[in-house]
Structure 1
């Protein structure tokens, strides 16, 4: 009855199933590992954001590359804003919105003389046109203590497109290396994404919100789906084989009429 399983057609079906099952299992593990990475990232962000602030210059120095395990770490810095070297970063989206504008980055000259820290003070709308410097609220005068999140240098390799020459004081990257080369001043590696300031900023740019560290995404559900698909392949083969066997079975002869 199942002699058809030895046909070339069923050999091809079996080969396809043999390829599909391990592929689906591997795709399931790929999604599972993405789930694990997302959970680990969320835990790291939570620990970093809830940790007591540490002084920026005890961690960073000029040329310092921020490691992944310190990204989002709560940092503080005390000094005076250097508005003469303030700049904006183009093509940035408003927090929790869709408007495109600028990030305002103002160097903070540290009180201990260790150099400057780039402080992303937040978002402002675009000016009248792409060549006009936007209206930027002034930072607090005098000595301030700022607290925020440590961020790594932005580079063209991080997916940000860098095109041509830009208007004065407009950039496409937040880069301490770039600013140090342009200004000739010592700038500590990485930058601070502002969360709070003492004294307060008053009329300030739109302060950026914390990263979402609660959602784990759909990766675990996708992993389970792929594994279910892999388990259904042999079930489907059995169902298909039984159906074909039933269709190929010879029909039973009809019973002869009984004479009355």
Structure 2
């Protein structure tokens, strides 16, 4: 009755089922790994945001890199803004509007740190320099969230040259630092407060949305694993149906022969 299982058509079907089981298993495992990574990152960032501010020098160094465990850690740093070397970062959306981040070096006794002072709307054209409020003069104490230098891999933004003067696509401290007369700390600071306060100022960058901690990836993982059960269940159902049809055909043949 089950000799049909070794026919070429069914052998191909068996191979397909045997192929999708490990494929779906590893796809689910991959999504589960992304869930774990995003959940860990979400938990770490949420915890960091609740921590009291510490000095920038205690968590970052000139020419160094910001450890992942320190992302969004509140920090304080004192220095003087250098508006002559300020840059604006293109294609940054805030409140559903496209504009620029305003990044100004803050020069300290140990070096300088890039400070993202906030967001301003785009100018009349894509290449026009936006109107940017000036930073406060004199010594300033900045409080903000520590961020690692941006890269193409982290942001999904493709960097390119040929931009108007004073405009960049990424807050890449290594690249921006090449044109500066002083060394930079490895990360940059996303401004949340400063003393003394400025007058007109860019719109503050909102707190990061840590999302659901990778909950969507967990749903995808479970979905792939459910597909394994669906595939195996469908395979078994088709075998039973084929065997039933052959049995029924075999029962009808003798009856027709006797007639």
Same fold? TM cut 0.5: yes
1:87 corresponds in structure 2 to 87
Q: Distance in 1 between matches of 2:65 and 2:244?
A: 68
* Cα displacement string for residues 175-207 of structure 1 (whole angstroms, at most 9, x for unaligned residues): 333343312123222110112223333421111
TM-superposed CA distance for 1:105, in Å, is: 0.7
SS in 2 for 1:140: coil
1:1-260 aligned at under 5 Å gives the runs 1-94=1-94, 96-97=95-96, 99-110=97-108, 113-156=109-152, 158=154, 159-216=156-213, 217-249=215-247, 250-252=250-252, 253=255
| Unmatched runs of 5 consecutive residues or more in structure 2 | none
Q: Distance in 2 between matches of 1:194 and 1:4?
A: 71
TM-superposed CA distance for 1:156, in Å, is: 4.8
**Cα gap change, 1:153 to 1:228, in 2 (>3 Å):** same
Higher mean C-alpha displacement, 32-41 vs 234-243: 234-243
Q: Distance in 2 between matches of 1:133 and 1:213?
A: 31
Say if 1:120 and 1:191, in contact at 8 Å, map to a contact too.
Answer: yes
**Cα gap change, 1:129 to 1:69, in 2 (>3 Å):** same
**Cα gap change, 1:132 to 1:225, in 2 (>3 Å):** closer
- TM norm structure 1: 0.88
Structure 1 or 2: larger helix share?
2
Say if 1:179 and 1:187, in contact at 8 Å, map to a contact too.
Answer: no
TM-superposed CA distance for 1:131, in Å, is: 4.0
Say if 2:63 and 2:183, in contact at 8 Å, map to a contact too.
Answer: no
| Unmatched runs of 5 consecutive residues or more in structure 1 | none
Give RMSD over aligned pairs: 2.1
TM-superposed CA distance for 1:243, in Å, is: 0.9
TM-superposed CA distance for 1:157, in Å, is: 5.2
Q: Distance in 2 between matches of 1:85 and 1:57?
A: 22
Say if 1:138 and 1:204, in contact at 8 Å, map to a contact too.
Answer: yes
Equivalent residue pairs, number? 251
**Cα gap change, 1:8 to 1:206, in 2 (>3 Å):** same
Q: Distance in 1 between matches of 2:153 and 2:3?
A: 59
- TM norm structure 2: 0.88
SS in 2 for 1:183: coil
Higher mean C-alpha displacement, 58-67 vs 152-161: 152-161
Say if 2:53 and 2:75, in contact at 8 Å, map to a contact too.
Answer: yes
